[in-house]
Amino acid sequence: MALSLHYLKRVLYSCSCSQPAPLTDLYFCRHCKVARCQDCVSITVDTYFCPHCFETVPVSEAKNRKNRCNHCFQCPRCSSTLTTRSIIVPSEVLAEQSPKKTESPSSKSPSLARSPGGTKSYYLSCTHCKWSTRDVGIKDKRSPIDFKDPLSPHQERVSQLVSFYKEFSMRDQAEREKAKKVGRRGRSYGGLLDTSKFVKGASSDSPKQLRRASLQGTWNKSVVNKVATQSTDCPDQIPDGFYSGEPELKKIATLQQRLLDPAHQPARVEQFTPRPLHLIGKKLLRCKGCDHILLKAEINPSSIRFKIQQIALHTFPQIRILKPPSLVAGAPCEVLLSVSNPVNHVVSISFQQLEPSFTKGGKVSLAPVSLPKGSYQLSPNDDMGDLLDDSEEELEGEKEFIHSRLLGKLVLKFNVAPEEGTTGEVKFGFVLSFDYKSTMELEKQESSCIVPAPVVVDLGKLTHSDD
């Protein structure tokens, strides 16, 4: 695998959307029998979980919590995860601090308050930058989940505007519909059948009534003016402190710290509040052609395994450059490529020339190549293979082009003739066809089909002969 990482950009397979990609980035759809790259699969978030406490959060709850964890918090200063610290407050101190609370019987945790050792209280602190909730004057809480993201200062105003515009658009629509009706039939008598006005006890102040009134009655300008903000004659001036003394930069938030909390955008360190940690998701990949699942992770957040994993690396014979060839312009050069079998049964492969349409109208110039003729068989890639006796099973393949044969691997000779005047990298391409045996349980009888995989190999620059 190390080799394949090394040659990541050297051997590029072509996706069904004709985008070149390394084999490690491709998926293989068993149903469409084509390779799919990152851009031709649809990706959705499958399960949500907190990256710190590993709690799996159901979809509906994640939506309600705005994709944030209830228990874990992020440092507003350095954005690392905060740790919860607990201290035991002796009950006498607690009684002194808040005499009213302990007197009232309806205090939140009476059992805790009465316990002989005192009660636990919690604060959050950052192990990385030493920021803590005590720095900004947030009181210690009785429970670690009592730390809540404070509401936006404009929340009320915004919800007022939202309801105003919702009504506005509804009224707009109703009016238009009315106009349409009038234009069509002359007049509508629908209003006469409306019995809601006779319902007993419906006060005229209920929002439904109000809406009805506003929908039917006149939408006078005063309603609009009530909602509208008033402009000010004197906009804010520079604060006084600006000219008088050097600002303490340590107390001013950086832009990154401000943008971490878009609702408040704290300008100063004193305004920092702990941010609930953002959830992360496990992804679910589907083929865009047939909607079958290509990749599905296990639900358990601490597991890194997959339930379904259809990656091209498990199906496609993998091609590697065995050693860097010496390339001379105008002369045929021998290039050794190894083809390895990923599956534990015999796979037969063959090579064809790339169609000229593949080079995108001459955008990618490929060197002419003579490919190994005929079809070859790859021995199964079996972990136990080397323990068995060397079976003298004859595998198909012309001896002329075979350099060597290993377990589950075949090294083949290609003849590439780089053209004169090639300045960039020497590339050559071919179509690797292999027979794919479907091993799906649903398909009872084993079916096999030939899957073509266009491959472009980048051999690097021409070798300069110094003699």
Partner 1 sequence: MSTRRLAFSHHDKGSIVIEIGRMYTKVGLSGEPAPRHVIRSRVEMKPYGALQDVWDPKYLHREELYLILSRFLQNIYLKYLMVPSKDYRVLVVEPLLSPSHFRNTLARALFNHFSVPHVAFMPSPLLGTFSLGRQTALVVDIGWLETTVIPLYEGVPIMSAWQSTSCAAKTVHNTVMECLIETGAITDTHTQEQNPAGTLGLKELIQGSLEDIIVSTCAVRSMDCDRTPPEVSFPLSQQYTLCLPGPARDACAEGLFEEGEGDLSLPSAVLESLLKCPCDCRRDLSENVLVLGGIASLPGLNYRLKQELERLAGDKNERFSAKLGALQFKFHQPPAHPSTAAWLGGSIFGTSEVAVLERAVSKEKFREMNQRLPDWTSCDPEQHEQLRPVPTRKLLPAAPSSLYKSTTKTQSAH
Which of the residues 277 through 336 are near partner 1 (CB under 8 A)?
Answer: 279-281, 283
List of long-range contacts for 114-120, beta carbons under 8 Å, 24+ apart: 115/91, 116/91, 117/88, 117/90, 117/91, 118/88, 118/89, 118/90, 118/91, 118/92, 118/93, 118/94, 119/88, 119/89, 119/91, 119/94, 120/86, 120/87, 120/88, 120/89
Q: Which residues pair with 411 in a beta bridge?
A: 338, 404
Q: Please give the structure tokens belonging to residue 312.
A: 């091209």
Number of residues that bind partner 1 (CB under 8 A): 73
Considering only residues 143 through 162, tell me which ones interact with partner 1, judged by CB under 8 A: 152, 154-155, 157-162
DSSP state of 226: H
Provide, rounded to whole angstroms, the least separation between the CB of residue 218 and partner 1: 17
**Interface with partner 1, residue 224, by CB under 8 A:** yes
Min CB(193)–partner 1 separation in Å: 10
Q: Is 416 exposed, middle or buried (0-12, 13-18, 19+ CB in 10 A)?
A: buried
Query: Binding marks (x or -) toward partner 1, 174..193, rule CB under 8 A?
Result: x--x--x---x-----x---
When the beta carbons of 31 and 288 are compared against partner 1, the nearer one is 288
Among positions 10, 15, 22, 379, the unique one binding partner 1 when judged by CB under 8 A: 22
**Cβ(426)–Cβ(452) below 8 Å:** no
* The two structure tokens encoding residue 267: 């300008």
Within 10 angstroms of residue 17's Cβ, the number of other Cβ atoms is 13
The residue (of 157 and 373) whose beta carbon lies closer to partner 1 is 157
Give the span between the Cα atoms of 13 and 309, in whole angstroms: 19
Q: Taking CB under 8 A as the rule, does residue 60 contact partner 1?
A: no
| Least gap, CB of 186 to partner 1 (angstroms) | 13
Q: Footprint of partner 1 on residues 38-57 (CB under 8 A)?
A: 38-39, 42-45, 48
Interaction of residue 101 with partner 1, rule CB under 8 A:
no
Choose the stretch contacting partner 1; rule: CB under 8 A; options: 136-144, 274-282, 353-361, 418-426.
274-282
Map the footprint of partner 1 across residues 354-413, applying CB under 8 A. Answer: none
User: Which position among 233, 393, 394, 400 is part of the footprint of partner 1 (CB under 8 A)?
Assistant: 233
Nearer to partner 1, 97 or 159 (CB): 159
Please check whether residue 181 is in contact with residue 188, taking contact to mean a CB–CB distance below 8 angstroms. Answer: yes
Nearer to partner 1, 116 or 362 (CB): 362
Q: Rounded to an integer, what distance in angstroms lies between the CA atom of residue 458 and that of residue 445?
A: 40
Distances (CA, A) of 99 to 243, 296, 328: 45, 56, 91
Q: Which is nearer to partner 1, 102 or 271 (CB)?
A: 271
In sequence order, the β-bridge partners of residue 213 are none
Nearer to partner 1 by Cβ, of 172 and 419: the residue is: 172
Q: Candidates 132-140, 246-254, 295-303, 398-406: pick the segment binding partner 1 (CB under 8 A).
A: 246-254
**By the rule CB under 8 A, 31 interacts with partner 1:** no
- The length of the chain is 467
Q: Which is nearer to partner 1, 347 or 457 (CB)?
A: 457
Task: Please state, as a whole number, how many other Cβ atoms lie within 10 Å of the Cβ of residue 344.
Answer: 14
Contact 77, 272 (CB under 8 A): yes
Alpha helices (runs of H) in 73-154, residue ranges in sequence order:
91-97, 99-103, 110-114
**Which one of 121-129, 141-149, 249-257, 423-431 is the stretch in contact with partner 1 (CB under 8 A)?**
249-257
Q: Closer to partner 1 by CB, 97 or 155: give it.
A: 155
Contact yes or no for 372/414 (Cβ under 8 A): yes
- Binding residues among 345-364 for partner 1 as defined by CB under 8 A: none
Contact set for partner 1, span 203-222 (CB under 8 A) = 215
A 10 A CB-CB count for 60 gives 8
Nearest to partner 1 of 92, 189 (CB atom): 189
The neighbour count for residue 286, using CB atoms within 10 Å, is 18
- Residue 86 or 160: which CB sits closer to partner 1? 160
Residue 449 is a binding residue for partner 1 (CB under 8 A): no
**Nearer residue to partner 1 within complex by CB, 106 or 244:** 244
The distance of closest approach from Cβ of residue 242 to partner 1 in the complex, given in angstroms and rounded to an integer, is 5
Residues 6 or more apart whose CB falls under 8 angstroms from that of 104 comprise: none
172 is a site residue for partner 1 (CB under 8 A): yes
Verify binding: residue 199, partner 1, rule CB under 8 A.
Answer: no
Q: Which of 192, 238, 388, 442 binds partner 1 (CB under 8 A)?
A: 238
- Grouping H, G, I as helix, E, B as strand and the rest as coil, residue 130 is coil
